[in-house]
Structure 1
Amino acid sequence: MAAGGPARVSHSVCMVSDFFYPNMGGVESHVYQLSQCLIERGHKVLVVTHAYGRRKGVRYLTSGLKVYYLPLKVMYNQSTATTLFHSLPLLRDIFVRERVTVVHAHSSFSAMAHDALFHAKTMGLRTVFTDHSLFGFADVSSVLTNKLLTVSLCDTNHIICVSYTSKENTVLRAALDPRIVSVIPNAVDPTDFTPDPSKRDDGTITIVVVSRLVYRKGIDLLSGIIPELCQKYPELHFLVGGEGPKRIVLEEVRERYQLHDRVRLLGALEHQDVRNVLVQGHIFLNTSLTEAFCMAIVEAASCGLQVVSTKVGGIPEVLPENLIILCEPSVKSLCDGLEKAIAQLRSGTLPSPETVHNKVKTFYTWRNVAERTEKVYDRVANEVVLPMDERLDRLMSHCGPVTGYIFALFAVLNFLFLAFLRWMTPDSIIDVAIDATGPKGAWTKQCFGGKKGGVKEELPSS
């Protein structure tokens, strides 16, 4: 229990997602920061993800956060392949060993997250899902993903979205009751993203882009913006951090217009290096075609940069109007927005970076996110877990005559497989894992009786 805090129920939470450190991104950062703040509030938290290269087995991060890197095969874009049943023995063993009470899955793109929800419901555990993305309704990929989401969430206890736009999108895609969907935004650690007080004006204007270089992030728009503005403003430079298949497009633009000295492509960035890149610029540009929240613009604003962004998804909800210039997702509109920011910068009408930072650091904090997530856990802890017959009825009535019956069959097979595993290895003979989370030194005392040493703490950047 947090020292001096009010009495509260302590939960044993298992965060599950294919996306976690050492991979970098918004979901990875969200899972890590939320876990740390929940541990600070007195809860037991562990993370389950797939193996990354040689990183397999169990690792411990800051505050004793235990991470299980499972040896599951990656299929596409860091998401595991799934047959639905192959992950049950591993996940069941973890849930029992760690005495998990709440399974919290993250990201619609994560196959492991959907597997964990399915197995947790079969085991009678409470389930929570956080959706970090927006999807369409027309293309084949969206239709299939939305159908999977409908199946996965129809009997999930509670769903969290990171913006009101995201909530509306998820409710429509998965045909959910809005009353079981909450909005809890992302956050930023303001101590990690501060302005550089030693920065000097050398007469140049630097536009910073930090993003995965993929189609969804609007890199094709960026490739049209760069030559147009560089021709118009000789003092303008672009600093681009990130990696992806669209990098070749930016390299071609740089080569065609001979902009090697004005467009720097930094490649993939470690999260701890992002701040050092941001503070080199004056304006932050986001060209995303779809976003549920967009952590990058909050981090940039926290570093004191003027933000110019596309007006898509949940982005208009993130920052107040005086801290962001919103544009349509087109080259012309974004160029107009950037020119407006350049004019403000030249005239000195923009607020100082320190003023912007002091405003932004009050908007989103991980402790607030953890408090609100804790209320969701308290709510689902008091809910009744659906028995198997009601769960089958929910699947068949909610998911359509074909999909519903198919997944109802899967649920029955999953239940029988679980019964077989419990017969082979009863829950009672599975060793209970030592709780590694909690106040500093507590997990060392548990493991080694107060002796010095213990498991080496491994930071996300390692």
Structure 2
Amino acid sequence: MKHNVCMVSDFFFPNTGGVESHIYQLSQCLLARGHKVVVITHAYGERTGIRYLTNFLKVYYLPFGPFYNQCVLPTVFTTLPLIRNILIRENISIVHGHSSFSTMAHEAMFHAKTMGLKTVFTDHSLFGFADASSIITNAILQFSLADVNHVICVSHTSKENTVLRASMSPSLVSVIPNAVDPTVFKPDTSKRKHDRITIVIVSRLVYRKGMDLLAAIIPIICETHQDVDFLIGGDGPMRINIEEVRERYLLQERVTMLGAVQHSNVKNVLNQGDIFINASLTEAFCIAIVEATLCGLQVVSTRVGGVPEVLPEDLILLVEPSVKGILSGLEEAISRRRMGTFLCPEAVYQRMAHVYTWQNVAKRTEKVYDSILNDETLSLPQRFDCYYKCGPAAGKFFVLLAAINFIFFWFLEWFSPREYIDMVPGMPEVKSSTKGTECPSATTRTVDPSATKDYPALSHRVTRSKARRKQVVQS
């Protein structure tokens, strides 16, 4: 069965990151499998209105600016008129929200349930339970997922975390790991310095990614091993810490800071190195270590979150998230490199190239969509009961929000009837450019949204047909 899916998140192109790449690649593969997919996100600077990306992936940039950390201000009700109009125009049957941080994803799913549509949510992160930020986020997540049809997590550890945070049944949660395009991330040893050892870090330079641990490790490794260099790609608030260490120990020639790296250039950075470090303090999946493995690097990673589930034991050195732990892992990796006991990059690539693919992710996500088609649509009292169970005080507040949203929705049904909303005709069917492939992103170079074509000039207004216009006038 073919579905009309609306992907919603605050995080999308032109911003770059794991969630953005996930939405883009999944959408491309679902389009290739015959489904209709549109994306809703907020405005990015002057990028507002409707744009088309590769394979006519339609993106609605709503006129709401980011408020904090690339997310819009949570208003609940002000987004209903626009989102309702889009869901009706596009004849959407499933609303798929992404990321616990995304305000727009939670509000879109809330409006979709008010409209009687099916909802799916993908959680990309791990959260704690004690600090103020986690407590607030978990309360919002519990409210948002109280009546969701299904939840997708990227690892079993992430599933356990989401089930506990949202107080939901494990039977409503599936595990579908992230993926990587093996046609892009390939080993290229010609770019490596064979007389020196290069340790690569490609990450956001934030506390959660263990940048304070990295700042402590760099001078120790450089002093102990004179033939070891560091290549660091990424940007963030903790970049200043790395730069201070580099200047204090006069390591400018041995520690190279690349700054922010476009996703399309990550493979070139990885292929310059021998060892890859992931020093994260928390991680739901970590696609970066899969990309590094496909490029033939020895991976050293902290044993946190869902990382132990990602790679076979012989392809990764798991260490404790401490200076001592990471140092021991790096010493082992450096020793292997000098002794020439690294696994053959080409053999590792052939082994892992078909493990994490977007085609597989799309097929499994499609099965989730199929499984929720026959789910009972909850009545308003049933939804009230779900929200009421969220807590003695919060539950009553959530019920009030649902009641106001329902009243507002029916006001819009009267003020702007569905029959007066232009319906969007179907787009041309996407065909794969290579025989036997089911996802165009696996056979073309358009795996990075920043490298895709953008068609702002395509009109988003669809005129009614003459017969339709005559019918409306007569009514």
Tell me the TM-score normalized by structure 2. 0.90
Equivalent position of 2:290 in the other structure: 298
Q: Any idea what the Cα deviations from partners look like across 1:248-280, whole Å, max 9, x if unmatched?
A: 001100110000001111111111011011000
Are 2:135 and 1:143 aligned? yes
Q: Is the alpha carbon distance of 1:197 and 1:251 closer, same or farther for their aligned partners in structure 2, counting shifts above 3 Å?
A: closer
Q: Report the AA paired with residue 271 of structure 2.
A: V
Q: Any idea what the Cα deviations from partners look like across 1:320-358, whole Å, max 9, x if unmatched?
A: 001100010001110110110010011111111111111
CA distance in 2, matches of 1:135, 1:99: 35
State the Cα distance separating 1:197 from its structure 2 match.
Answer: 4.5
**What's the Cα RMSD here?**
1.3
Are 2:280 and 1:288 aligned? yes
CA distance in 2, matches of 1:324, 1:175: 33
Equivalent position of 1:444 in the other structure: none
Equivalent position of 2:395 in the other structure: 404
Equivalent position of 1:172 in the other structure: 164
CA distance in 2, matches of 1:223, 1:279: 23
CA distance in 2, matches of 1:407, 1:321: 45
Q: Report the AA paired with residue 414 of structure 2.
A: W
Q: Report the AA paired with residue 426 of structure 1.
A: P
Q: Is the alpha carbon distance of 1:134 and 1:182 closer, same or farther for their aligned partners in structure 2, counting shifts above 3 Å?
A: same
Equivalent position of 1:445 in the other structure: none
Tell me the TM-score normalized by structure 1. 0.93
Of residues 408, 420, 433, the one that matches 2:424 is: 433
State the Cα distance separating 1:376 from its structure 2 match.
Answer: 0.4
Of residues 247, 250, 275, the one that matches 1:258 is: 250
- Which has the higher mean CA deviation after the structures are superposed, 198-207 or 134-143? 198-207
Task: State whether residues 26 and 361 of structure 2, in contact with CA within 8 Å, keep that contact through their aligned partners in structure 1.
Answer: yes
Of residues 378, 388, 391, the one that matches 1:386 is: 378
State the Cα distance separating 1:360 from its structure 2 match.
Answer: 1.4
Q: Report the AA paired with residue 301 of structure 1.
A: T
Task: State whether residues 292 and 315 of structure 1, in contact with CA within 8 Å, keep that contact through their aligned partners in structure 2.
Answer: yes
Q: Any idea what the Cα deviations from partners look like across 1:224-259, whole Å, max 9, x if unmatched?
A: 010010000111111111111001001100110000
Equivalent position of 1:460 in the other structure: 450
What SS is found at the alignment partner of 1:148? helix
For 1:122-271, what aligned pairs fall within 5 Å after superposition?
Answer: 122-199=114-191, 201-271=193-263
What SS is found at the alignment partner of 1:143? helix
Q: Which residues of structure 1 form unaligned runs of 5+?
A: 1-8, 442-457
Q: Taking every aligned residue pair, what percent have the same amino acid on both sides?
A: 61
CA distance in 2, matches of 1:11, 1:310: 39
CA distance in 2, matches of 1:461, 1:233: 39
Equivalent position of 2:318 in the other structure: 326
CA distance in 1, matches of 2:197, 2:412: 63
CA distance in 2, matches of 1:73, 1:54: 10
CA distance in 2, matches of 1:385, 1:265: 53
CA distance in 2, matches of 1:310, 1:11: 39
Q: Report the AA paired with residue 263 of structure 2.
A: H
Equivalent position of 2:473 in the other structure: none
Q: Report the AA paired with residue 378 of structure 1.
A: D
Pairs aligned (count):
437
Q: Is the alpha carbon distance of 1:141 and 1:459 closer, same or farther for their aligned partners in structure 2, counting shifts above 3 Å?
A: closer
Are 2:291 and 1:311 aligned? no
Q: Is the alpha carbon distance of 1:175 and 1:292 closer, same or farther for their aligned partners in structure 2, counting shifts above 3 Å?
A: same
Task: State whether residues 192 and 271 of structure 2, in contact with CA within 8 Å, keep that contact through their aligned partners in structure 1.
Answer: no
State the Cα distance separating 1:440 from its structure 2 match.
Answer: 4.9
State the Cα distance separating 1:150 from its structure 2 match.
Answer: 0.6
Task: State whether residues 300 and 307 of structure 1, in contact with CA within 8 Å, keep that contact through their aligned partners in structure 2.
Answer: yes
What SS is found at the alignment partner of 1:307? strand
Q: Report the AA paired with residue 401 of structure 2.
A: F
Task: State whether residues 200 and 275 of structure 2, in contact with CA within 8 Å, keep that contact through their aligned partners in structure 1.
Answer: yes
Task: State whether residues 192 and 274 of structure 2, in contact with CA within 8 Å, keep that contact through their aligned partners in structure 1.
Answer: no
Task: State whether residues 188 and 271 of structure 2, in contact with CA within 8 Å, keep that contact through their aligned partners in structure 1.
Answer: yes
Equivalent position of 2:74 in the other structure: 82
Task: State whether residues 9 and 104 of structure 2, in contact with CA within 8 Å, keep that contact through their aligned partners in structure 1.
Answer: yes
State the Cα distance separating 1:459 from its structure 2 match.
Answer: 4.8
Are 2:56 and 1:64 aligned? yes
Of residues 268, 273, 288, the one that matches 1:276 is: 268
Task: State whether residues 300 and 319 of structure 2, in contact with CA within 8 Å, keep that contact through their aligned partners in structure 1.
Answer: yes
State the Cα distance separating 1:363 from its structure 2 match.
Answer: 1.3
CA distance in 2, matches of 1:84, 1:113: 11
Equivalent position of 2:37 in the other structure: 45
CA distance in 1, matches of 2:298, 2:338: 13
State the Cα distance separating 1:389 from its structure 2 match.
Answer: 1.1
Q: Is the alpha carbon distance of 1:122 and 1:200 closer, same or farther for their aligned partners in structure 2, counting shifts above 3 Å?
A: closer
Task: State whether residues 328 and 334 of structure 1, in contact with CA within 8 Å, keep that contact through their aligned partners in structure 2.
Answer: yes
Q: Any idea what the Cα deviations from partners look like across 1:110-167, whole Å, max 9, x if unmatched?
A: 0001001100000000000000000011111111111111111010000000000000
State the Cα distance separating 1:201 from its structure 2 match.
Answer: 4.3
Equivalent position of 1:348 in the other structure: 340
Equivalent position of 1:336 in the other structure: 328
Task: State whether residues 126 and 380 of structure 1, in contact with CA within 8 Å, keep that contact through their aligned partners in structure 2.
Answer: yes
State the Cα distance separating 1:372 from its structure 2 match.
Answer: 0.5
State the Cα distance separating 1:359 from its structure 2 match.
Answer: 1.3
Q: Report the AA paired with residue 188 of structure 2.
A: D
Task: State whether residues 270 and 461 of structure 1, in contact with CA within 8 Å, keep that contact through their aligned partners in structure 2.
Answer: no
